Amino acid sequence: MLGGGAGSSGGMMGGTDGYHYSRLRCSPPVDLPGVTVRVVLADMGMTRMVGGDAPMGARMMLDAAPASTSAGTVTFVASNMGWRTHELVVMPLSDQAAAGRRVAGADGRVAEDDSLGEASSSCAAGSGEGIDAGAVGWVTLRLAPGRYELVCNLKNHYVNGMYEELTIR
């Protein structure tokens, strides 16, 4: 589910939900280990590739499915169907915490000291320079039962709503 996204009235560029998706140019290996959580990253009101920085209030989304899965080996497949560069960072959520409540610094990013891993490479596994528009990144983690927050932490993306809670049971 889209986590928020107050902001400008970005133009509706086609598609039933206002999102015009870029075409994916790669896909992950077919034999990914464990259960798979698919994450779609997208930008509203755009049809042209740009870099990763976003203004406050830009409409963007991070949508993960399923929202709950079993503990153990989990592979996240993050598809950037948007137009900006995005990424996927997996962080734990403490009992009291809720997704979307982290406070961004002056650089428009939240602290990721407690990151458990990330998919931020284009058409490759693990961390890198970001997932370009039209690319897919993936990462395999071992997760214990609990709640987690999936985050895109490029400039202003989190405050623009790019977060979602994941439950591991």
**Count of residues engaged in binding Cu ion, rule: CB under 5 A:** 5
Residue number, 59 or 157, with CB nearest to Cu ion: 157
Min separation Cβ 86 and Cu ion, Å: 3
CB closer to Cu ion out of 35 and 58: 58
Phi, psi angle pair for 162, to nearest 5°: -90, 70
Q: Exposed/middle/buried for 112, CB within 10 Å: 0-12, 13-18, 19+?
A: middle
Shortest Cβ 152–Cu ion spacing (Å)? 3
Contact 152, 87 (CB under 8 A): yes
Site string for Cu ion, 86-105 (x = CB under 5 A): x-------------------
Out of 43, 134, 157, 164, name the contact with Cu ion by CB under 5 A: 157
Binding of residue 150 to Cu ion (CB under 5 A): no
Beta bridge partners of 43: 60
If one asks whether residue 155 binds Cu ion (CB under 5 A), the answer comes out as: no
Please list, residue by residue across 13-44, b when 16 or more beta carbons sit within 10 angstroms of its beta carbon and e when fewer do: eeeeeebbbbeeeeebeeebebebbbbbbbbb
Q: Does 162 bind Cu ion (CB under 5 A)?
A: yes
Q: Which of 141, 152, 166, 168 binds Cu ion (CB under 5 A)?
A: 152
